Amino acid sequence: MVALVVMLCYALARHLTSPLRRLRSAVDRLGRGDLTARAEESRKDELGELAGSFNRMADHIQTLLAAERRLLFDISHELRSPLARLSVAVELARTDEAGAPPRLDRIQKEADRLNSLIRQMLEITRTEGEPSHLRAEPLRLDELVDGLVDDCSIEAQAHGCGLDLESSGPVTLDGDSELLRRAIENVVRNAIRYAPQESKVEVTLDNGGGWAKICVRDYGPGVPQEALPRLFDPFYRVEEDRDRKSGGVGLGLAIARRAVELHKGKLRASNASPGLLVEIDLPV
């Protein structure tokens, strides 16, 4: 009798807790960005009603996000057309007038900034897409970083600073090469932007413990301690005037963070005294 009671209690506990476990799994998937996550609604009791409420909430969130992305893409497309015509008009005005006035350069500069803003907004919208759409394939991270540093060295020379890479050897992982390249490039270019002249931007790549670690350090002024938690938020700028002069709009590091998170990695920043240290951890 005791054994029978124990077995019945165990079966009852499994009957009550199994839908809760499945619901928790669906909640976790939705929290990680999988908008297709849904709970099973086969039960006719309160747990089934709870699963139905969760599914309706997930449907609503998916619809809202899809509508938001469509709106952003449509607005970006509509804005690019007049900006392209504006750039053509500026070039025509330059050829028609001998010694084009400086205001034409100003108009062209603002048009270029708007084009850059639209491009970055589209990039961050794409990286906010569903993780299931991630094009993961085996890639050599060391080769990707090496090529990226080589490409950015020209920008570093123009800024008057150096760019050094130290790699521990071959690193292979599964990921989207384009997304990872944009993420790392945004971090490196941000370091170059604020590096003092005749200083170095140091990039290191290490592999160990199942993780690849990319560190990017500059020797600039760093950022206030209270600004570190918000450094990777979209449109966040530490100093308005400094970012305006540099041409930044506060989206590069936000794109980097989302791309790293889609690869189940971690991105963090800390003051290195002097300079800023940004660390990217990716599972290998």
132-174: pLDDT as tens digits: 556 778 999 999 999 999 989 888 988 899 999 998 889 899 9
- pLDDT for the residue numbered 120: 67
> Where does 1-133 sit in CATH, by number?
1.10.287.130
pTM: 0.65
| Arithmetic mean of pLDDT, 231-241 | 71
| Arithmetic mean of pLDDT, 187-216 | 91
Closest to 123 measured CA to CA, from 36, 186, 30: 186
| Arithmetic mean of pLDDT, 243-252 | 58
- For residue 168, the tally of other CB atoms under 10 A from its CB is 13
In angstroms, the CA 8 to CA 228 distance is 55
Closest to 230 measured CA to CA, from 203, 192, 196, 257: 257
Is residue 159 flagged as an active site residue?
A: no
| Arithmetic mean of pLDDT, 225-232 | 85
Phi (first) and psi of residue 44, to 5 degrees: -110, 10
Residue 202 has pLDDT above 60, yes or no: yes
> Where does 135-283 sit in CATH, by number?
3.30.565.10
* Mean pLDDT rounded to a whole number for the chain: 81
Percent of the chain exceeding pLDDT 90 equals 19
* Catalytic member of 15, 60, 77, 159: 77
Residue 204 has pLDDT above 60, yes or no: yes
Q: Which residues lie below 8 Å from residue 167, measured CB to CB, with a gap of 6+? A: 142, 145, 146, 204, 205
Q: Where are the domains of the chain?
A: 1-133, 135-283
Q: Are 268 and 278 a contacting pair, CB within 8 Å?
A: yes
